[in-house]
Amino acid sequence: MAGQAWTERETTAVLVLSDGTVIEGYGVGAEGAIEGEVCFNTALTGYQEILTDPSYARQIVTFTFPHIGNVGANDDDHEDLTPANSCGAVGAIFRADVTAPSNYRSAGALDAWLKARGVIGLTGIDTRALTAFIRDKGMQNAVIAHSSTGSFDIEALKARAKAWPGLVGLDLAKDVAVGQSAVWKQTPWIWDAGYADMAEPKYKIVAVDYGTKRNILRLMAGLGAEVVVMPPTVSAEEILAHEPDGVFLSNGPGDPAATGEYAVPMIRELVDRDVPVFGICLGHQMLALALGAKTEKMHQGHHGANHPVKDFTTGKVEIVSMNHGFAVAADSLPEGVEETHRSLFDGSNCGLKLSGKPVFSVQHHPEASPGPQDSHYLFQRFFDLIEATRAKKAA
């Protein structure tokens, strides 16, 4: 799967799969070696948001679009709350060499940005062939390595790749989430104005951080919410002490069943107390577990910004952003839990709601704006449920 080199040069990076396959290329970004699961992302834009999405923790992202890096990098487009921890993807694979940035918002080159975050990059390989391999064989455990000397102990890297257990059974939320509570008030970006702070909150939302993205919090703040971000191990009592109008369960990395070991009891208690609950991605999967459904590892996962999803509550089809390697088993939804969204690519579950309760969730990322705003209504749906719950309590 090696790509054609533009000039004769020495191999400085390799991808070693757990089956022993070795793919040679040229290194960018940080040097070193690290294990991860190899997936592919079909988005044409937004590489900085992708690489800083905490849901990609311990993953190596193969970009199917060949030219990555043209717009450089900046300080506004990262999505993780704790960028100093570099809690997004551990590796990135590109078809073409990273070029010099050409964009008015660029604050620096992608190569330097990758180095600063500790992300190992590999260029110059046939990413279409690697994508086809993943589609056929499934997402692969691997080691990505970069050395400017071109010296690699391939047998040792093969052993590391084979020994790494992968994401099944792995709780990663604690590695990427905030360590203590914090208040979020920043609202969405506006052309020529940038970000602002919401002045007069109408709602108080507790966001349980399993690896949340900044734009999720911005969209809620933009609708008038003061958002209290809390660590993933928070208890229901600690959440309710803030007297929230609603609770948001965020996206995040790893196996939902593993994170659910401590999160599910908390979620069940909130549901039992009729607290409005909205979940996205990992939050959707753990809500499903709390309601009695099951989750399962996917063959190749969903990673991209061109996924069609149907909302059965409106009858509309949305083009959405996806990033998940686990899914809710649709046939495991218990009585009283209704499927609200479904992928039109493979028929997998992408949303649910609980009958008689102000509780719902979606698998996709409505904040990522691929449509560009096809799914923003979901945030308003959450606040409509909050208003209905307030009215019911006042009656």
Hey, which residues are catalytic here?
281, 365, 367
Judge contact between 227 and 205, C-beta under 8 A: yes
Of the candidates 57, 1, 9, 64, the residue with the CA atom closest to the CA atom of residue 34: 57
Tokens of 162: 């084979």
Burial (CB count <10 Å: 0-12, 13-18, 19+), residue 175: middle
Tokens of 51: 């690489």
Judge contact between 80 and 212, C-beta under 8 A: no
Q: The tokens 């203590």 sit on which residue?
A: 180
Whole-Å CA distances, 167 to 40, 124, 172, 224, 296: 16, 27, 9, 37, 12
Start-end of H helices in 110-249: 110-117, 127-137, 154-163, 173-176, 214-222, 236-240
Q: What angle do CA 223, 226, 230 make, to 5 degrees?
A: 125
Tokens of 197: 């702070």
Q: Which residues of 376-395 are buried (b: 16+ CB within 10 A; e: fewer)?
A: bebbebbbebbeebeeeeee
Position 107, amino acid: A
Q: Which residues pair with 226 in a beta bridge?
A: 204
Judge contact between 145 and 16, C-beta under 8 A: yes
